[in-house]
């Protein structure tokens, strides 16, 4: 069984960056002599099973491997469970139940009721690790927050004079662009937008563009900043003759077709300058006016509530936020306990001084320090990439899935 689920898992990864806020799903079928695999390839398109079954024999028999249980509801496409019930395989191996409450084990139950042998749990941890944002959205009710940072080996992001470009080298910067393309949205704070005036685009690699979000409580960002110019040239108001009827994450429904259309968002506090808000909206920015929080994370003053921001991002269909913060925003995220993953690029340099990437965050004791577990370490020319994530999160998600004895506690 391991080979079959390995094939399905590899297939699912081809949908990364293209299917969210839906899950990545892979399907593999074998009759013992040949293999056929397919994956869910784009939001609004046919699911993995629907792409696979037309390629199978009229009486498929054989074994079917699915990374996620077949859906049972009619969403943008018909439910996949009908395909399996009409042309049942000899056995169905499913990695994990669907955490979506509309399905929530229903597909597995229908297969068993039809007398089809079902095995659940094959490589479950690997499948959850492959799509943590999807499971975070459905099991915790908030997006997966990945914080990306570039620093010296002593954790500094700038010299005392403010010089920060470039601490890391070209290979590290190329890898950042690759990781941007896998996220739903790239997020920066007003300080980064003002100081660096970034485009936040995907360059140097092939991959889809994510949406861009600037958190700016006081509308300090220029409406015509570089991020707007880069977005407007491709996705601005004049890019499509038809308005979007519906939006979900990076996708817009135009007529009856879902098309990829990344968004440009400015997040501000409620009651901000109305004239400034109009200036942004007239150029195509979406403006989210959200509740504020006082001195959150040592920022001082009143700023956008991170809790309110994450709730709004989830409601809009952004499950994976790739945050490229300055020290102030990084400190606020750490202080609030919102960081799920840390992608840290470290240059082989010692800068010294006080410009730490963690900003105003400070643990009172070692026991209170924000803990991570190491996922991966790579060398990128002279730089080192360290990928970390919140400890125990995969086990937490597995315990909350349909059928788990601990689900009622979650």
Give residue 409's pLDDT band: very low, low, confident or very high (50, 70, 90): very low
d(CA 289, CA 345): 33
Q: For residues 242-258, give the mean pLDDT.
A: 89
Q: How confident is the model at residue 295 (pLDDT cuts 50, 70, 90)?
A: low
What the block records as the tokens of 386 is 């360290």
pLDDT at 125 over 90: yes
With 60 as the cut, is the pLDDT of residue 237 above it? yes
Under the banding of pLDDT at 50, 70 and 90, the label for residue 301 is: low
Q: Is the pLDDT of residue 282 over 80?
A: yes
Of 143-147, 203-207, 275-279, 352-356, which range is least confident?
352-356
pTM over 0.85: yes
Tell me the pLDDT band of 266, cut-offs 50, 70 and 90: very high
- Position 112 scores a pLDDT of 95
Residue 128 has pLDDT above 60, yes or no: yes
Cβ atoms of residues 347 and 168 within 8 Å: yes
Q: Residue 252 phi/psi, 5° resolution? A: -130, 140
pLDDT at residue 408 in the model? 33
Assess whether pLDDT exceeds 70 at residue 1: no
The one catalytic residue among 3, 49, 69, 199: 49
Q: Which two tokens stand for residue 330?
A: 């990084």
Lowest-confidence segment of 141-150, 336-345, 350-359 by average pLDDT: 350-359
pLDDT of 98 > 80? The answer is: yes
What is the arithmetic mean of pLDDT over 376-382?
Answer: 94
Residue that the structure tokens 């993953």 belong to: 341
Cis check: omega of the bond before 50, within 30 degrees of 0:
no
Helix-helix angle 306-315:327-336, to 10 degrees: 90
Percent of the chain with pLDDT over 90: 69
Q: By the 8 A CB rule, do 306 and 293 touch?
A: yes
Question: If you average pLDDT over every residue of the chain, what do you get?
Answer: 90
pLDDT of 62: 92
The answer to whether 49 is a known catalytic residue is: yes
Provide mean pLDDT across the span 176-189: 96
Confidence class for position 406, pLDDT limits 50, 70, 90: very low
Token representation of residue 167: 């601490």
Examine the pLDDT at 60 and tell me if it is beyond 60: yes
Domains of the chain in start order, with CATH, are 2-130 (3.40.140.10), 136-400 (3.40.430.10)
């Amino acid at each position: 069984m391991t080979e079959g689920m390995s094939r399905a898992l590899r297939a699912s990864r081809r949908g990364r960056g293209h299917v969210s806020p839906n899950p990545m799903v892979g399907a593999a079928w074998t009759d013992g002599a040949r293999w056929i695999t397919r994956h869910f390839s784009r939001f609004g398109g046919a699911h993995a099973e629907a792409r696979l079954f037309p390629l199978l024999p009229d009486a498929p028999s054989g074994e079917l491997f699915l990374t996620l249980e077949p859906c049972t509801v009619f969403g943008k496409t018909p439910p996949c469970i009908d395909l399996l019930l009409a042309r049942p395989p000899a056995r169905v191996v499913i990695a994990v139940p669907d955490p979506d409450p509309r399905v929530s084990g229903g597909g597995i139950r229908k297969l068993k009721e039809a007398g089809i042998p079902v095995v659940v749990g094959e490589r479950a941890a690997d499948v959850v690790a492959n799509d943590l944002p999807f499971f975070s959205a459905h099991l915790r009710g908030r997006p997966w927050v990945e914080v990306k940072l570039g620093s010296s080996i002593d954790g500094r992001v700038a010299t005392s004079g403010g010089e920060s470009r470039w601490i890391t080298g070209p290979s590290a910067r190329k890898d950042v662009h690759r990781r941007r393309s896998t996220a739903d949205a790239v997020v920066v704070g007003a300080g980064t937008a003002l100081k660096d005036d970034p485009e936040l685009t995907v360059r140097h690699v092939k991959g889809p563009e994510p949406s861009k979000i600037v958190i700016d409580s006081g509308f300090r960002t220029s409406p015509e900043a570089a991020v707007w110019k880069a977005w407007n040239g491709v996705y601005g108001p004049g890019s499509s003759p038809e308005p979007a009827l519906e939006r979900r994450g990076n996708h817009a429904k135009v007529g009856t077709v879902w098309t990829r259309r990344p968004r440009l968002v400015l997040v501000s506090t409620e009651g901000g300058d109305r004239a400034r808000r109009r200036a942004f909206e007239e150029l195509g920015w979406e403006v989210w006016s959200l509740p504020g929080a006082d001195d959150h994370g040592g920022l001082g003053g009143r700023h956008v509530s991170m809790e309110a921001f994450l709730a709004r991002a989830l409601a809009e269909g952004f499950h994976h936020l790739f945050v490229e913060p300055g020290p102030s925003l990084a400190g606020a995220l750490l202080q609030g306990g919102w960081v799920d993953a840390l992608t840290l690029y470290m240059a082989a340099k010692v800068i010294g001084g006080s410009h730490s990437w963690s900003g105003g965050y400070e643990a009172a004791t070692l026991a209170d320090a924000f803990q991570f577990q190491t996922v991966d370490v790579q060398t990128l020319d002279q730089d080192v990439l360290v990928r970390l994530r919140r400890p125990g999160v995969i086990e937490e998600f597995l315990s909350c899935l349909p059928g788990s004895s601990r689900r009622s506690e979650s």
